[in-house]
Chain A
Amino acid sequence: MVDAPDGQAEQAYEEVFYPADRIPFVDWEEFSGAQPAVVLTGVTTLLAFVTGLSNLSAPVVSLNGPLAPYVPATTVVARLAGVTFAFLLAPVTVGLQRRKRLAWRVAMVLLPALAVLPLTTLATTDIPLLLAVGVTVPLLVRNREAFDQSLDLSPLQIASLLSVAGVVAYGTVGAYGLQEHFTAIADWVDALYFVIITIATVGYGDITPTTQIGEFFSLSIVILGTGAFTAAVGALVVPAIESRMAAAFGNMTPSELRLLENHVVVLGYGDLTESLLDSLADETDVVVVTPDEDTAADLDAESVNVLTGDPTDEEILERAQVDSASGVVVASGDDATDVLAVIAARNVNPDMRIVAGASEAKHVDKLASVGADQVINPHTIGGRLLGESVLDESASSSVVAALETSED
C-alpha cells in the first residue's frame, strides 16, 4: 500500500475531518447550470430512444399507467412515441447546446408530452425515462435565462419553411375536400399521408386521382410541393455545410461574428501574436484576422476565434466587427502591411484605440502618423531590459517578475 512520507503522516485528526472550510452535500452550482440541463436533455433523448426500442421489441406492451384511459390509440403511442420523440428531441438538444430560445420552447413542450408515455404504460423500463424528464424540466425552467439566442434564420430559410408548411396545409385541406375525386381518402390522416408521400416524391400509388380535378390538384401539389421541399432542404442544409467548410479553414460564421462586442481584433499573425493571445485570452474575446489559411486552421484548433482574410481590407475588418470592438492590435511582423492595416482600421472606426508593434525602430513614427495611438517596438524594450539586467540585478529582475506575474 502506498503511504505518505513520515512528515506528512503525522497529521492531527483534524485533517481527517476538516480538510476544507466547508463541505457541501453536493456542489449545486456544478449540477444546476445551463450545461447540465443540456446534457440531461441529451440523456433524456437517449433514454427515450432506448425505451422506445424496448417498447417496440417487447412482445406485449403494458398499458397500466394512470393516463392509459385518456390517451387515444394507446398501443400506437406506447409503441412509437419513444423513438419518435427521440428523433424530435435530438435537434432540440443541438439547439439547446447553442442556447437557442426556440429550442428551449420546443423542449418545454416535447418533454412534458414525452412524460405521457411512461404514465400510459407504467412499465418498469419506462420509469427511468419518467425520472429523467422529471429532473430535466425543472432544470430547464431554472436556467431559462441562459437560452436567449434567437434562431437567426435568413429570409430565404423562413420563406422556404413557410412555403413547405403552406403546401402541406393546402394539400391536406384540398385532398380532404376533394376526397370523392380520389380512390382511397377517407379521413384527415389519409389526406396528410397522401400529401407527404407525394411531396417526398415517393408516390406509392395506393391513393390516386380518379377525375380531372383530382389530377390537376395532384399536379399542383407535385410542382409546388417538390419545389418548396427542395428549396427548404437547400436553404436549411447548405448554410450548415458552408459553415462546416468555413470552420475547416478556420473561419468564423457571420452569426458567430455578429455576437462579438467589446472584443479585441488582432490584425495579422506574427512572432508576437502567441504571447499576445496568452495575455488577452483571460481578459476579453479576441478575433485574429490572418490571410494565411494554415495559421488560421492551427489557431482554430486551439479554439481561438479566427477570420481568414486580408487584414488591410476594410470589408474583412467590418466582418470582424471592428466598429464594435474595444481595440485593435496590429502586429503582423511586416511594417508595410501594418501601416495599411492601421489605415484600414482607422477608416472603419475613427474613435477606437489602435496599438501597433513595429519591427524596426525607424517605422515607429510612420505607424503613429497614420493613426496608431500607441506604437511599441519590442526590440527596443528587450534591449533596454537586457542592459538594465546586466548592470543591476534587482532592477531588471523586478521588471521581469512583474511581467511574469502579470502574465498569470
Chain B
Amino acid sequence: MGTSAATGTEQMFAKLLAPLCAASGAVVLSGFFFPEFVGTVVTGETWLAVALVFFTSGMGYLAVLPYSPDPEEPSGEPALLGIRRTGVVGTLRNFATKHDPVVFALPVGVFALFFCVQAVAPAATNEAVNGVSGAVLQNTGPVFLGAVSLAVCYCLFLLLGPWGDVKLGGPDTEPSYTYPTYFTLVFTAGIAAGIVFWGPAESLFHYGSPPPYFDAPARSEAAVGPALTYALFHWGLSAWSAYAVIGVPVAYFVFKRGAPLRVSTILAPFLGVSGLDSVWTRLVDTLAVFATIGGIATSVALVSEQFLAGIGFQWGVSAGDLGPVLFVGGLTLIFVLSTVTGVHRGIRRIAGLNVVLFGLFALLVVAVGPRSFVLDRGASALGSYAVNFAPLSLFVGGEWVANWTVWNWSWWFSWAPFAGLFTAALSRGRRIRTVVFTSVVATSAATIVWFLLLGGTSLWVQTTGAADILAAVAARGGSEAVAGFPLLAALPLSQLLMFLFLALIVVFMTTSADTSTLVVSMLATRRSVAPTRGTIVSWGVFQGAVAVSVLVLGGGETLQALAVLTGGPFAVLSLVAIAGLSLTLYRRERDQGHTSVVRQAVDRLPTVHTHHDIDPPEKE
C-alpha cells in the first residue's frame, strides 16, 4: 500500500484489462459509428454489457498504471517481494493484530444481524425501521436544521475571520496536492451518483409538488422559481458545510496537535490528544464505520437498481435478476482496485476522469440546451436562494420539510465522517480558509451550476411540453432514476448525452466508494498504521457484499433509512466539534497574529494621510 510501483498482481490486472478495454472499446465505437451495420447484429443486453465492460475496464486500467513522480526513476519493483510467506493461520493472526477489534467487529455484526432479521421478517423490519426513522425525522427536524444552520455560519466565520489564517501543519509544510487535485478529490469523494440522478429530477419534483414555504400552485409558471431555489438549497452551501465542520476540526487536531487521523479526533479538546483511546472514541469511530458502510453500500445497491431501471425505461432492456448483482460485482472490483492502488494513482485518476466527464457533459448540455431560459431562471433562482437562505434554513414546515430538507441534511451528516476525514487528510499544509473555501464554496459552486443547468433544462422541457418527464417518472412509481432519460431524449445529440450520463453515474459512484473504502479501512486499523492491502480488499468486498445482500434480500430503502439515522448522532457531534475547535482556537491561536479577510482588505486600502504637511516632531 502506498508504494508507487506496480506489484505483480497489479501488472497481471494491467495485462488483463488493457486488451479487454481495447476489444470492448472497439465494439462500442463500431456500434457508435456504424449503427446500421453493427446495430442489427448485437442485442440491447449485449450492448449494455459491452459498454459497461469497456468503461469499467478502462477505469481499472487507469488505476493500475504505475505512478512515478520523477520520470527518471524507473517504476516497477520485483514482484517476488510481494509474495506472502505465511499460512492461513498466520494471515488471520496478522489480520487480527492490525485491527481494532471493536471498530472492526461491531459494524460487521450489526449488518449481519440486520440481514438476518430482514431475511426472517422483512415486513416487520421495514415497518419498524420506517416508523423509527419517520418519527426521528419528524420530531428532531429542528435539531438538524439548527445544526446545519450553525455549520453554515461557522464556515462563514472560518472563511472570513482571523482563524481562517491558521495553517494546518508546521510553518514549512507544503501542501501535497496541487489545488486542482485537491478540489477534484474533495468534490468527487463527497458526492456520489445522487447528483446525476437528482440533477434533472429534484427541481421537477418540487415543480410537481411545490414546497410549502413558497406556496405556489403545483405545475404552474410560478412554481418554476421556487423549484430551482429549493434544489439549490438542498445541494448548495448548507449541505457541504456539514462535511467541513467535521473535516476542519479533525485536520486541525491532526496536523497542529499530533492527534491520530480518525473521526474520533473531534473529541480531542475534551479528552486530550493522549486520552483519545477511550470508550467514547471507539464508539464514535464505530458509528462512523457503520454510517459510511451503510451510506455507501446502500448507495451502490440503489444506484445499480436505478441505473438498470433507467436503461430498462429508455431502451426496454431488462437486466433480469442477475443483472444488478453483476453490476455491483463489477463496480466493487473497480473501486477496490482503485483504493488498493492508492490516493495518488487510482483514486486521483478516476476522480480526474470524473471531473473531466462532468465538465464535458455540462458543456454539451450548455451547447444544445435552452441557454436563455436557464440563464434567466437560474439568475433569478440564485437571487431567490441568496435572499431566502436564512428563512429557508430555519423553516420547519411539517411533513414536506421532514421528507425533503431534514432527510437530506441527515443523509449529508451520515456521509460527513468519511467525506470530512478524507478532506482533512488531504488538507495538510493548507490554511483553514482554503479548506473551507474548497470544501464548501468551490464544491457548492460546482453543484449549484449543475443543478441550475440540469434542473433548468428539465423544467424547460417540462413547461414547453417537449416531453412530459413527470408523467414518465410517475409511470415508474416516482423513481428519480428515469427523469434524465426523457429529458436527454428531448435534446439534440441525445444518444451521446445518454452515453455520457450513464458513464457519469458509474464514475461518480466509484469515486465515492473507493474513498469510503479507504477511510473505513483506516478507521478499522490500529491507530497511525496504514491499512494493508488485505484490509482494504476485505472492506471493499464487505461493502460489495452488503450491497448484494440488499439487492437479494430487499430492504435497500430500509437500510438506507437506518444509515440516514446515523446522521443524527453526527449532527450532534458536529456541534461538539464546533465547540471544541472554537475553544482550542481561542486558547491557542488568539495571540498568533492571524488576520481576518476583512482586516486584510482594510490593510490593502490606500492609507489616507490625515496628519499635517509637516512631520510630527520625533519622540525623544
Contact = CB atoms under 8 A, between A and B. Distances in A.
A316 to B, nearest CB: 37
Contacts of A122: 492-493
A64 B491 CA distance: 12
A6 interface: yes
Contact of A54 (B34, B82, B176): B34
Contacts of A57: 34, 36-37
A50 B33 contact: yes
Contacts of A18: 176, 428
Nearest to A15: B2
Contact of A2 (B82, B352, B428, B522): B82
A403 interface: no
Interface string A14-29: 0111111111111000
B495 interface: yes
Interface string B62-91: 000000010100000000011111000000
Determine which residue in A10, A124, A125 has the highest number of CB atoms from chain B within 10 A of its CB, and name it: A124
A71 B464 CA distance: 31
A225 to B, nearest CB: 39
B184 A17 contact: no
Contacts, number: 125
B156 interface: no
A5 to B, nearest CB: 7
A127 B496 contact: yes
Determine which residue in B2, B94, B342, B492 has the highest number of CB atoms from chain A within 10 A of its CB, and name it: B2
A240 B9 CA distance: 47
Contacts of A59: 36
Contacts of A127: 364, 493, 496
A11 B529 contact: yes
Contacts of A124: 32, 493-496
B2 A23 contact: no
A1 interface: yes
Contacts of A125: 32-33
A403 B29 CA distance: 55
Given A4-B82, A122-B492, A19 B342 contact: yes
Contacts of B37: 57
B178 A16 contact: no
A19 B29 CA distance: 37
Interface in B98-118: 98
B279 to A, nearest CB: 23
B174 A22 contact: yes
Contacts of A21: 69, 174, 176
Interface in A22-74: 22-26, 30, 50-51, 53-54, 57-59, 64
Given A1-B9, A15-B530, A23 B344 contact: yes
A13 interface: yes
Contact of B2 (A5, A19, A64, A131): A19
Contacts of B360: 131
Contacts of A390: none
Interface string B1-14: 11110011100000
A12 interface: yes
Interface residues of B, number: 56
A20 B69 CA distance: 7
A53 B33 contact: yes
Interface in A123-148: 124-125, 127, 131
A135 to B, nearest CB: 11
B496 A17 contact: no
Contacts of A19: 2-4, 342-344
Nearest to A52: B33
Determine which residue in A23, A24, A30 has the highest number of CB atoms from chain B within 10 A of its CB, and name it: A23
Determine which residue in A4, A17, A26, A131 has the highest number of CB atoms from chain B within 10 A of its CB, and name it: A17
A3 interface: yes
Interface stretch (B225-233, B312-320, B397-405, B532-540): B532-540
A6 B364 CA distance: 50
A24 B176 contact: no
Contacts of B130: none
A131 B34 CA distance: 19
A381 interface: no
Contacts of B178: 22-25
Interface in B481-519: 492-496, 518
A129 to B, nearest CB: 10
Nearest to A51: B33
Contacts of A50: 29, 33
Contacts of A25: 178, 180-181, 184, 348, 352
Nearest to B340: A1
B426 interface: yes
Contact of B343 (A1, A16, A26, A53): A16
B501 to A, nearest CB: 13
B302 interface: no
Contacts of A3: 82, 84, 532-534
A19 B492 CA distance: 45
B10 to A, nearest CB: 9
A44 to B, nearest CB: 15
B528 interface: yes
Contact of A17 (B71, B352, B425, B534): B425
Determine which residue in A6, A20, A25, A51 has the highest number of CB atoms from chain B within 10 A of its CB, and name it: A25
A13 B176 contact: no
Contacts of A6: 94
Interface string B391-430: 0000000000000000000000000000000000110100
Interface in A208-260: none
Contacts of B9: 1-2
A10 B352 contact: no
A2 B69 contact: no
A401 interface: no
Contact of B181 (A24, A53, A131): A24
Contacts of A131: 360
B532 A23 contact: no
B331 to A, nearest CB: 19
A155 B36 CA distance: 50
B164 interface: no
B9 to A, nearest CB: 5
Interface string B22-39: 000000010011101100
B608 to A, nearest CB: 43
Contacts of A402: none
Closest 6 CB pairs of A and B: A25-B180, A15-B2, A11-B530, A54-B33, A20-B69, A25-B181
11 contacts: A2-B9, A2-B533, A3-B533, A5-B85, A18-B176, A18-B428, A19-B2, A22-B178, A50-B29, A51-B33, A57-B36
